[in-house]
Structures are given as structure tokens and as C-alpha cells.
Structure 1
Amino acid sequence: MSPVHPLDEAATARAVIDENGTLIHWNEGAHRLLGYAPEEVEGRPAAGLLAPEATGAPPGSTDYHWHGLLALRHRDGRVLTVWLLAHRLERNGDWLVVTPLDAEELRAVRSQALSALDAPLVRAVLAQSPCAMAVYDDRLRLYGVNDAMSEVIGLPEDRIRGLRISEIGDQRAGAQLEHEMADVLASGRGRDVETYTRGGGRDRPHHWLARIAPLTDTEGRVHGVCVAAHDFTEQYRARERLQLVNEASVRIGSTLDVTRTAEELADVCVPALADFVSVDLLDPPDNGGEYRAEPPTAPITLRRAAHRSVNPGSPEAVVEPGDVDVYPASSPQADSLIAGRPLVAPNADGTLEEWLNWDEVRGKRVREYGIHATMSVPIRARGRTLGVAVLSRFRRAEPFTADDILLAEEVTARAAVCIDNARRFSRERQTALALQRSLLPQSLPRTAALEAASRYLPAARAGVGGDWFDVIPLSGMRVAMVVGDVIGNGIQASATMGRLRTAVRTLADIDLAPDELLTHLDDLVVRLSAEAGAEGTTGEVGATCVYAVYDPVSRRCTLARAGHPPPVVLLPDGVPREIDVPPGPALGLGGLPFESVELDLPEGTVLALYTDGLLESRERDLDTGHRLLCRALEESSQSLEEAAHAILQALLPAGGAPDDVALLLARTHGLAASDVATWDIPADPALVAPIRKQVAEQLEVWELTGATFTAELVVSELVTNAIRYGESPIRLRLIHDDETLICEVSDSSHTAPHLRRAKTFDEGGRGLLLVAQLTQRWGSRHTPEGKTIWAELSLLGEE
């Protein structure tokens, strides 16, 4: 119905015929034309209205529009030869059949304003104008068209005069334009409308800019509308191409993941370029090598990385993502990769048919979904072939054009660089991750001082960083804990981490205090940075670190940090809190002091050392992250393994951490006073024998008599050296657990002994050599009061 005059139905005879040829709609105009009421013909075959002598063919099943003369049978028996226009409705297989009634009579009674259009000069101007123009009256029925519009519509003016625009062509586009024309007719204000439709005189749909203007008389009254149609298909397609290229540059390569990048390529191309797109890639060469520069040879094995369709679920796909398929020489994929350029099929050589006959499953899908054109585009980057993208059309009727090929090449080239970058990143990431994991502790040592649990998680999307952790046993049952973070990522960061971890272990082995150890480590990082600059590598070397030493005898812990997040401590009867440790400068600045703090830790205290990747997040601030850490630690501190899992669950997003994360949890233990024995020794060599006897008696109390002989020899040598070469006061201390007996002799001299080889006639120099042979470890450490010489004896196997 006309949106302006709903009762203006009798001006057009309109009928709808379903795909089986049955009349399903019959309007008042059709009743006027042939005399049949709707109830007499609806539901009956439309062929029954044809006169026996009818000539001309009605529309076929493959047509989209049809027009011609048909002899129709009137209800009173007369035969009427009528010009009919038929359109296939887009939503189904039905046909709309129309013909105008009384067009000339309607035209004759129209207003003077429209009649002026019939003036010879005006008609000449309209006829010769290159712009397609049509005039519609105040009932939105066609009044007249010029030659250009008649060519666009593909129908002569005298046949379609009196029809509405929705009855002349594409139903969807016509209904849209008719609604806009009604608004212009009512408001008197013109407007521009873009539409996409196939004109009767065009072989494919075009993009049109319809300029709709009101036709008014001298008094401003609106008597109709004028529609000027401008074909801007080329401009529209150029704009679309630019928009697609811009969209590809934004959307493709958002991550450094090969599969996701392939999915983004398919997403960009559907439906802008094709109805179905598949992306198949060559498997990476063995041992992480480079792809070959020369084209591959058929048959070619490709792995499906991604596909996308206008149909949900991509039912056209024969291969699922992750699966491998082999493409023979007759396939578009193989031919395109071998040729090194895009290929469109079907083509003159008929290889597509040969391939589809060979691949029955794929041939069946092509026929089932009506795929009529494919374009295979090689995915190449840096002179290497990575795979192929195949674009197929079945919903879009038009074939691929030269512009489509250029556009597909441009988009695929952008995606190829991103895929290659993602592949190189993945390869370097796997190498760096393997190096990182090989440099980190494979397991934490068991010590009497504490139990520990650890976690290391590489960044989900960035390169592997240089986070590390370690637990280092020290002399006197003490243990060191360290967590560090090298600035940067990749293999270089992992290698630097390995060097720093080795340096920390070496410095810890000589029992440096935490602040002194960080000072030496800072010097090392400065040298590494200088070496990196000399070698021309980019960026300076830098790191942060926190180092703690816990003594289970005194239950005291000494900590220092270099630009690192402060540890969190949970006392047995308290709540988690940060330890107030002076922050110190990051390693690599050089020349700046570090400070340490010392605090008492009751047995059962939990320490949490971590890198900044655990707390940092774009979704929350550091204070919120710290509260989540403390809450997770408090709620699950009974088990360190469960606590480590809970902390990561609470703080890290589901997709993984944006930065590397290292976490070290430790629960302190204390040695009982009964496991430690201490003697103050006067500087008298004659007292060495009584001291040995006291040691033997203590070992008997501890039920360690199997170690008495060795312990007496070691104590005798260490005490004698302290009396002879050291300074008072001198102190002997024995410490033991289930596996180790430790003998320590301390004095106030800062001169440390060293192992040397005694000559044949030397009277001394064999004592420390004897100690080294009898014990599993020995050494010395400096203290604020002097030095301590220590030796460890294994109790495993002793009775």
C-alpha cells in the first residue's frame, strides 16, 4: 500500500505467486483488471489465469525479474493481453507480479505543477540529462522518467508509469526509498539516501546515491518528489577498500599469537571480501629454523590455522583448525603457492574441476553451498612462504575482480608480516622460556631452617623476562632467600638472570651480609651494562632484588632490597603486613648505599617474597593488589603450596599475567636450645684436651657417639688455630640436626685462614687440610666481632 494513500490500491494490479506457482495474494487492482475476487483465485494455480492462446514465457526459476506481454483470461471470458512486471522476493522464492492501471488517466488529472514538466523544453532537458531522474506524484506513483533513468531501470517509461518505486524494482531497496520519499512529501525537505540494489539494466547490484527533492508550486505546496540517482559504485568500493585496509592495519596483529593473527585475517575478510575464508599455514621447520626462500613443491602439507564464514559454525569447512591437509598440484592452494601469486578459480585451465573431482568431500561442499568463485592468496613475508589464504564466494553473486585481488593481496601482506612476527616471537619465547627454566632451581633444598614453596609464571603475551628466585643454604644452619627481576625480556634478560643468580650464590657462599651482597651485585650489574654498551646491544642492564638471611638458632632475619617490592610477613598470631625495609636503588645505578634491617621471627612465621608482576595490573592499583595478596596468604597459610596457588588465583587474570611472576613463600623453623652447645675458651693450649672431652660428652648426650672421633679431631684443630693465631675472646659452638653436625670456632681476629699445601719438613700447615678431608664442607665467615671458622660433618649413616 502507498504510505501516503492507503486506499490507493486499485491503481496497480498486484499478485503474489509462491514458488509452486500458487496464487497467495490478489489485490483490489487485480480484481479490477480481471474481475476475479481474491477468494476466487487465492490458493489456486496461477497458470489457470492464462488464456489458451497465451504466448511468451512466464518467469523461470533462475530469473530475478521478468517483464513481457501475456494473454490473460478475464472472468467474463474475454482475453486481455497485459504487460506484466515480475520480481522475485528476496526473503523466499515467491514472485510479485504487477501492472499499472489507468496510468495515463491518472497522469492527466495531476496538478498543474507536475503538468509543467511536460513542457517541451523541460522534457528535452530531462531526457538529455546524464543524471538518472524520475518524478513521482503526490501519491508516490511514477509520473515520468528521463532516458538515463529508463536505462537504469531497464524498462520503458510507458510501461511502468503509474507504479510505485517498490513495485518497479528491488523490494527491500524500493521500500526504503519509498519511506524516505513519503517523508520528503510530508515535510517538504529534501534528503540524500544511499542504497545498494540491482537495476533492471545492470548485470550486478550497484551503490546509488538517491537525492530526493520535493516538487513545489509558487505557493510552496508540495505536489510530488523528484528522485535523482547517482551511481557511485566505484567511489563506494574505493572507500570500502580504504576502510578495509585501515581496519586490517588496526585489527590484524593485536597479539603476538600465530593462531589469533590468522583468525583476525579471516575476520577482516568476511564478509567484506568473501563469504568464507580459510587460512592454512606451513608447519614451522624443525629445530626452529627459517622457512625456505624457494616456493614449495606439490603435494603441499598445510595446517588449518583459522577459518570464518558468514554462516554460523562455518559448515563449508572440510578441515578443522589444527588439522593437517595435503593439497595436490591441481588444487588452488598448491598452484597459488607454487606460482607465488594470487590465483582465481574457476579459470581457463579447469584445474578446479579436476581437484574437486579428486576430492569428493570438498566437491560435495562446493556444490551444496553453491561456491562459485575462489581466490587463493599466498601468505609471504620477508621473502618466505608461510601459507595461503583462500577466499570463497557463494552468497555474493559477483566474481572476484582485479580490485578484489589487489585488496586481498594488501590485507594478506599485512597479515603475513604479523604472522611472521608472531612466529619469530613464539620461537624466541620458547627458547627464552627453556633457558629461563633451566636456570631456575629445579627444586628447593630441604633445610632445618625453613620449608619453602615457589612459583614461576612467564608473561602470557609479552616476552619471557628475567625473574628468578632461590633458596641458598648457608653455614651454621642459616639459609638465604632471594627474589630478583631483570629489566627487559627475551633471551638477553634470561641470560642476565642466570649470571646474576650465579653471582648471588657465589657471594652468599662467602657469607656476605645482605647489604654488602647487594653492593657487590650492583657493581656486577654496572659492569654488565658497560659490556652491553661496548658490544652495541640496545638498552642498559638493570635489575631489582631482595635478599634475606634467616638464622634458626637466633630466629633472626636480616633483609635488604634494591628497588624491589618489600616482602610480606605473617606472624603465627598476627596478620600479614609489609616489612619496612629501606627500598635502596635498583641494581645498576652504582655508588649508592644499601641498608639492611634485622627482625625477630618466631617459629612458624611465613615470609612472602615476590616480583612486581604479581601486583601490577591495569584493572586495580597496587594497594588493592597488596590487600588481595595479604588476604590470600592469611586464608591459606596452613599449606605453603595451597597458599602459593591461592595467591596466584587471587591476583592474576584468567588469561595469564601481563608480566613475569616469581613467588617464594617460606615458613621459618627454629632449632631447640638443646640442639646447640656453646663454650667460651681461654687462650691456653693446655685446655684443648679438656675441650675435646667436653665435646665427646655432649655428643654422647645427643646420642651422636658415632661422630665423636671425627668431631674431636676437627674441634682440636680449629680451637688450636684460634688460640695460636686468633684473638680473644674465643668461642666454640656445636649445632646439630638429624643430618648434620656443625662445629664453629669464633674469635675477634679478622684474618681468615686459608688452605695450603705443607712441604715435607714443615711443622705446620696440615691442620686445615685434615679438616677439609674429614668434613663435607668447611669455611669461614666474617662477623662484626671478628670471624668464625666452621665445618660440617654428615651424620647420615652414623649410629
Structure 2
Amino acid sequence: MRASESNQDYPFAVTNTAAALLDDAGTVLAWTPAAEALLERRSADVCGRPARDLLADADAGSGGWEAVLAQGGRSGCAGPDGWEGRATLRHGSGGELQIGFRVIPLNDGAPGKAARCLVIGAPLELVSRWRQDHAFTQELFLQGRVGLAVFDRDLRLLRTNTHLLPYTGVPVELYGRRLADFLWAEDAHTIEVRLREVLDSGTPLIGFNTTVRTLDDPRGGRIVTVQAFRLQEPDDRPMGVAAVFTDVTEHERSRGRLDLLYRATGALGGSLSVLRTVEDLVKVLAPTFGDCAAVDLAETVLTGGEPTADGHLPLPLIRMAVAGTEPEVLRTGTTTRFAAPPSASAERTCPGELVTGLGDRSAESGDDAVPEWAGAVPGAHSAMTAPLCARGTRFGRLTLWRTGDSAPLEEDDLALLEEIAARAAVAVDNARRYTKERRTAVGLQRSLLPPATSEKPAVEAAGLYLPADADSGVGGDWFDVIPLSSARVALVVGDVAGHGLHATAMMGRLRSAVRAMADLELEPEELLAHVDDMVVQVASEAESEDPDDGDAGIPLPGGPAGATCLYAVYDPVTRTCVMASAGHPPPAVVGPDGTVEYVELSPGPPLGVGGWPFEPVELELPPGSVLALYTDGLIERGEGDVDEGMRDLAERLQRSDVLARPLRQARHDIVEGLPPGRLRDDVTLLLARTRVVDTGSLATWLLDADPAVVADARHLVLAQLTAWDLDELSFSTELIVSELVTNAIRHAGGPVRLRLIRADTLTCEVSDSSNTQPRMRRARSSEEGGRGLYIVAQLSHRWGSRYTMGGKTVWSEQNLPLI
């Protein structure tokens, strides 16, 4: 038994606590109904009997009530504050019950003497639980790491611990105050709305995060987690709300920094474009991390160039991306200078820089301590920058500003910015290197393809190429428009198996081979046969490469070296088109009446198979017809079959109005809806509108195999040139005709056909029945002959010969005089 502390709340004042009144001899004078219920003993059975009869062991010596009664027997129950203790009582059911009790002396008016004692008690378990609750509550209000508050039903503060909100601007005395008395109105309203919900519904509030800013110190504030539960009266009426405030500012900031780093890293990996990469980055940083953000890059980075590694030479920087509240201000003055690093070690580590207190410094005071970049945003109170460094090269910087009421930037923020800048530098450098590689690849691709549009006497042509790999922009499809002799033109479209640089390189070889063969004036089927042999040889060389040959370099991707190709020759004089296919789909012909038909040809095997012939097909094309040559990527789309794709292409040709519109415009409408990046295969389209050489621009004569007709031939040509107003070409044309007709009569025999064609050039043709090709040689000074073809070559823009069904044709072209 110990004396109770006078200032300690008494646990036995609760409802239904058992109580008994004892006189100074320890006799029970009164017995409450709660005591009857506790021990199951009636008042009549207990009153008038000694209290020791209730003890389970009345002879246990001193202790428990025995000590109380012994003291009461000597000097009564007098005592200044009474006693507390525990005892084991006899229960009316025959068992025993442990209780905790308190003895309270009752004075009868005599000084210093207690005539009677009031004994109150409760089960020992209940008393122990109360003491635990009391200790818990007491210690809880003494905690310094959390804030504890009790609100009444009007949400006024009744009780708080000393660390409710340990921030600037919180009053020392909070009793009776509302949160709005010292917090921002919006912050106080947010918390009170949640507390009111708890008070009304009784549902506890768990883990609610909110920002708390005081009226005296509004900048930044703190982030707290609020947990609340309702307090109730004994009759279950709401008494108020208890709330626990936990400061999680640092935790949330750390998590926010980690989340920002995660989102910034994700944004950096979304594109291989330098511009898109930095734009995505600043959108993540502002306004989440700062109010304004900007990225400055060296100009060479944009084109894929390599910035100089010499940190002592300043680099011109261009502002590439801005975001935040002052975008227009940030865009001004886009070119800045990047100062050299203070030391070699600084260059290696690429440190950032933090500047605070900008709002307290006067721009007119000439404060040299404020860098130019830091004061670029009006109203900024703090700023920081971090260099963009990758592979030891410094090529840009990332800058952040905070303005208004936002919290000033700190060293931890600078560390985060440096981490983001390090990752951004790698992403930008990867994008730069990709840009360089892509520009190289695309440059190679474009150098291997002809101009997209061309104007020839035979056709108006427009081509288009869409790579399946939109990132690399290269592939193995190609088209070509090759001018031939006599105003003719060759139209070519091909498709190399595979994608990427390997296919592009193979495409370049094939296009060069086709052009070389076309210069030999071969028929389409013969040309494809020669190209087929070349592809077979290339494939054989690739298979014979020694993988252990160190000089071979990195091997190119493997796979088939085959290709498909369609070669067509159109003659604007005869209006005929001869074509042959090596595994390539047939071209479409749009007639002058708007109907679309596909050429019925028998395609041979793809190039590279070898040993199979190619069959030519000849057709006559009305003037103004449009030929559409394409690769299979245009008709093998989606899940449909090839026939469906060909029907779709025919409809696209009709809808695009290729007959009336310029082909350079119509080509885009035909492939509309086929954006790069979602194609299953490369797409190539070549449109050619046919033209004709009218009869007024042709002159043909059939000459006998007699040397005397050479003079007649000269007179005929001179007369025709006068009729065409081409007298400036009379002298050269007369010599060319004289030499070619003389050679034909001397070496071939038989009739000779002489033809002049006026188109973009003046073509002179001499045809005979011989299959012997003329060869130009340099005659010696002692020889009388051998100079004819040399003279022809000197007078011509270009010349050559080609085989025909009945022999050969030697031709010469001269440029028309300027008008």
C-alpha cells in the first residue's frame, strides 16, 4: 500500500465502482449496490460485520486491509490522504476476487482525527488497465516527435502537447483557439473539413497528408500526416476529436525527389531526338521542382557534331527548351557563353552551382556575386544550374529557378539537379550520337536515290520512299528514272530483302549496276539477267568470307542478299513501254479515261536465284497515261491479302486524281494513312506521266547503201534544221551525219535509216543491219582513217550505240541552243 499522489486523477470515480463505509473499528457500516454486484454479497449480510471477514486470508499477518484495520484500531482511519493497495476478497460464489482499493479518511469535524473510512475498490485487472491508459496518455502528451491535439465539438483546441506544430508562427498558448487563428486559411480549412468528417461520422482519419503554413511564415511550410479519431461521452455523444500531427516533410521531400528522378529518367528515355529529349525534361522539372527551367546546349550538339573537349575554350550555347511561369523571358537572349571550368578536376566532376537570396540583392548595385544566368528570371529568389557532361565533354547546362512563395532551393536540391543533369547528359549525348548516325545513314540513303521529282521529254516523274524503320530512316527500297538515248527513259523500282544499312548498301550496288547496264542500252530482260548474275556473285562472296579474318572488321547482318526489281523502258516516239520483272509486283496504269489496270506480266524469280529467264512485256500507252511502280510494302499491309491491297491502291490512284494534278502532290495522297513507324515493310512509289514526241519533231529518211547518198543526207539534215530554227547546230550536225552514214555504208552494207529527234536535245540516229558495235580509237598521225567516231564524240554532248531487232543504232546527242 502506497500513498497516492495528490495531483493524480483518481481511477475509482468511475460508474459502478464498489464502495463501503467503515467505522473506526473496521466494522462495515454501509455497502453499495455496486459492491453487492462485485462480490455477490447482500448489504444485509455484510453491514455490521468486521471488514476482515471479507478477506480471503484474514490471518495473513500485516498487509492488505489487515494493516489498514490494525492502524485504524490503534489510531482510527486517520491519515492525510488515505491509502491504496490490493487485496484478495471472498466472493459470494465461494471463489476469490483480487481487487485494487483506496481508503479515504472521513473527518467528523474533530481536528486531526478520522472517525470513519470510505473504502472504494474495483477488480485489479480494471485498475491495472486504467493505470496503463493513464500512463499512455500522459506519455503521449509528452512526446516531442509528434503533435497531439484534442478539439471540442466546435473544433477549438482544448489540449495540446508542447510540440503540436514546432514551426515559426505557432502561439505558445493554444487553448480555445481555432487552426485558422495561426494557419493559412486554406490549410486550416483543409484540416478542419477532415476533422469535421471524423466528428460527424465517427470514422477515423488515417494517413492524410497536407501542407501546413503559418501566417507569420508562409513560404514553403511543412508537410504533415494527420490521423484523427472521435472522442465520445459515456452516453456515446461526440465529445470532440483527437488528432495526431506527424511532420513528414523530409520524408515526403525525399520521396518526391526520388519520384522526380524516376519521372525525369523516364522522360529522358522517350525519344532519340535531342530537342524532344530536353523539352520533355523541362516539362517534368517545371513547375514540379522549380517555377522555371531551361536547357542550353552547344550548337554542334543539334546536328550531331562532337563538342570540343577543351574546357578552356568557351562554347556558344543555344537555349533549346524552357518551361514554367516565365517562358517568354527565358527565350530571350538565347545565345550565351559557357565559362571555362576553374580546374581540370572540376571539369571531370562537372559540379553545379546554387545561388540563394536573389530577391534581397539589387540588380542596380552591380553585385558581381550574382551570375548572369541566376538573375535571368525576374522575381526569382533562388536558382541553381548543373552542367551537362558526358564522356568527359561539357556541352550544355540545366538551370532551375524558384520564385514567389515557393521554398528556397537547398543543397539537397542541387544534388538532385546534378543527378538529373548527369542522366540528361547521357540521354542527350545518346540522342546526339544517334542524330549523327542517322544523318549519316539518311545522307547515304539520299545520295543513293535520285531526286524525288524529274522532268524528262518522255515522262513527268515523282517518287516517294517511306522506310519501315522510321528511327534509322534507311532501307533497301529504291526507284530510279534513267534517261536513255533517243528521248527514251527507263523506270526502275526495286526492293532489297531486309532493312537498315546492310540493305541500303546492297541497294546502292544494285542501283549502280542497273544504271551501268542501262547505259549499255540492254533490253529489260537482258538487263535483269546481268543484274541477277551480279547478285548471285555478291551472295557467293558473302558466304566465302572468313569469320576469323581480323581485317574484315565487324560483320554486317546476315540474311538473304536477294531483291526484286521491275525495269521498264518507255519510248515517247513510238509510245510503247517494254518491261520485265524479277519477282516484283506488276505496275498499275491509269488511262486517260481514269480507269486503272495492272499490267499482265509474268514475273521471273527474284534477283539472286540465278538460272531463270525473264520475260518481257510490251504495251502501248496513250499520251497522258500514268504509270505507278511500287514495292510490295504498299499492297501487303494489315491482315488482308495482296489482291485486296492492289484493289486499295487502284482506289487510291483514282481518288488522288493523278491525271489532272501534279504528281509531286498526288504521291502524298496515295500513301496517306501510312505514317512511318507503323509500316510492316518499306514503301516506295514511283509515278510517271507519259509524254510523246509529236511528228513535227521527228524526221526520218531511208538511204541506200551508196557512198553518194552521204551528200544527200547532209542536205536533208541541213534543210530540216533550218525548218526547226536550229541553224546553229548545222555545222556540227552535218559532220556527225556524214561520219555516221559513211561508217554505216562502209562497214554494214544494206539500207541505212537516218532519223532526227528534237526533244530536250537534238538526237541524230543512224541504223543499219549490222550487229557489230563501233569502237572509238585514237588514230595515229600516219593513218588516214579512224578519226570519224572521235570527231563525233567531240561534237556530241554524248553518243553511243544500241542493239535493235534488225541490227544496231548509233546515236549522237547535242544540246539545244539557248533561246
Q: TM-score range, shorter-chain basis?
A: 0.5 to 0.7
Paired residue secondary structure (1:341): coil
1:265 partner letter: L
After superposition, the C-alpha distances for 1:423-481 in whole angstroms (9 at most, x for unaligned) are 33444445555555555557988654334456789999744536654332324442212
Residue matched to 1:195: 210
**Matching of residue 470 in structure 1 with residue 480 in structure 2:** yes
**Matching of residue 718 in structure 1 with residue 719 in structure 2:** no
Residue matched to 2:554: 536
Q: Aligned equivalents of 2:352 and 2:481: distance in 1?
A: 58
Residue matched to 1:238: 254
Residue matched to 1:71: none
Q: Aligned equivalents of 1:752 and 1:228: distance in 2?
A: 104
**Matching of residue 548 in structure 1 with residue 594 in structure 2:** no
Task: Specify which of 149, 164, 172 is matched with residue 149 of structure 1.
Answer: 164
Q: Aligned equivalents of 2:201 and 2:265: distance in 1?
A: 43
| Unmatched runs of 5 consecutive residues or more in structure 1 | 1-115, 682-686, 725-729
Taking a change above 3 Å as real, the CA distance of residues 521 and 207 of structure 1, as seen in their structure-2 partners, is farther
- Deviates most, 288-297 or 183-192: 288-297
Residue matched to 1:320: 332
Residue matched to 1:249: 265
- Deviates most, 650-659 or 399-408: 650-659
Q: Aligned equivalents of 1:721 and 1:459: distance in 2?
A: 55
2:286 partner letter: V
Residue matched to 1:136: 151
Aligned residue runs from structure 1 range 57-68, under 5 A: none
Q: What count of residue pairs does the alignment treat as equivalent?
A: 657
Q: Aligned equivalents of 2:139 and 2:302: distance in 1?
A: 74
**Matching of residue 127 in structure 1 with residue 141 in structure 2:** yes
Residue matched to 2:491: 481
Please provide the CA RMSD for this pair: 5.4
- 2:303 touches 2:432 (CA, 8 Å); kept in 1? no
Aligned residue runs from structure 1 range 490-529, under 5 A: 498-524=508-534
Q: Aligned equivalents of 2:667 and 2:440: distance in 1?
A: 28
Q: What's the CA shift for 1:507?
A: 0.8
Taking a change above 3 Å as real, the CA distance of residues 452 and 646 of structure 1, as seen in their structure-2 partners, is closer
Taking a change above 3 Å as real, the CA distance of residues 502 and 136 of structure 1, as seen in their structure-2 partners, is same
- 1:253 touches 1:419 (CA, 8 Å); kept in 2? no
Aligned residue runs from structure 1 range 315-714, under 5 A: 315=329, 317=330, 320=332, 323-326=334-337, 340-346=350-356, 357=367, 368-369=378-379, 371-395=380-404, 397-431=406-440, 440-441=449-450, 447-453=456-462, 462-465=471-474, 469-484=479-494, 498-524=508-534, 534-540=552-558, 545-561=565-581, 567-576=587-596, 579=599, 597-609=617-629, 626=649, 629-631=652-654, 633-634=656-657, 637-638=659-660, 640=662, 643-648=663-668, 651=671, 664-671=686-693, 675=698, 677=700, 688=706, 711=737, 713-714=739-740
Residue matched to 1:745: 768
Taking a change above 3 Å as real, the CA distance of residues 653 and 429 of structure 1, as seen in their structure-2 partners, is farther
Q: What's the CA shift for 1:125?
A: 4.1
Aligned residue runs from structure 1 range 77-116, under 5 A: none
- 2:292 touches 2:326 (CA, 8 Å); kept in 1? no
TM-score by length of 2: 0.65
Q: What's the CA shift for 1:381?
A: 1.1
Taking a change above 3 Å as real, the CA distance of residues 796 and 300 of structure 1, as seen in their structure-2 partners, is closer
**Matching of residue 213 in structure 1 with residue 229 in structure 2:** yes
After superposition, the C-alpha distances for 1:287-328 in whole angstroms (9 at most, x for unaligned) are 97632334235x66432222222x25454x3x527x212466
Q: Aligned equivalents of 2:598 and 2:332: distance in 1?
A: 51
Taking a change above 3 Å as real, the CA distance of residues 553 and 284 of structure 1, as seen in their structure-2 partners, is closer
Q: Aligned equivalents of 2:646 and 2:513: distance in 1?
A: 33
- Deviates most, 435-444 or 392-401: 435-444
2:188 partner letter: G
TM-score by length of 1: 0.66
1:538 partner letter: L
Q: Aligned equivalents of 2:604 and 2:235: distance in 1?
A: 87
Q: Aligned equivalents of 1:337 and 1:270: distance in 2?
A: 27
Q: Aligned equivalents of 1:590 and 1:176: distance in 2?
A: 81
After superposition, the C-alpha distances for 1:191-215 in whole angstroms (9 at most, x for unaligned) are 3322122479999633222223334
**Matching of residue 176 in structure 1 with residue 190 in structure 2:** yes
Q: Aligned equivalents of 2:448 and 2:191: distance in 1?
A: 71
Q: Aligned equivalents of 1:152 and 1:506: distance in 2?
A: 85
1:271 partner letter: P
Taking a change above 3 Å as real, the CA distance of residues 138 and 664 of structure 1, as seen in their structure-2 partners, is same
Paired residue secondary structure (1:559): strand
Task: Specify which of 174, 177, 181 is matched with residue 163 of structure 1.
Answer: 177
- 2:212 touches 2:222 (CA, 8 Å); kept in 1? yes
Paired residue secondary structure (1:744): strand
Q: What's the CA shift for 1:700?
A: 8.2
Taking a change above 3 Å as real, the CA distance of residues 661 and 200 of structure 1, as seen in their structure-2 partners, is same
Taking a change above 3 Å as real, the CA distance of residues 720 and 443 of structure 1, as seen in their structure-2 partners, is farther
Q: What's the CA shift for 1:536?
A: 2.2
Q: Aligned equivalents of 1:400 and 1:117: distance in 2?
A: 49
Q: Aligned equivalents of 1:450 and 1:150: distance in 2?
A: 85
1:418 partner letter: A
Taking a change above 3 Å as real, the CA distance of residues 795 and 352 of structure 1, as seen in their structure-2 partners, is closer
2:321 partner letter: A
- Deviates most, 465-474 or 432-441: 432-441
Paired residue secondary structure (1:357): coil
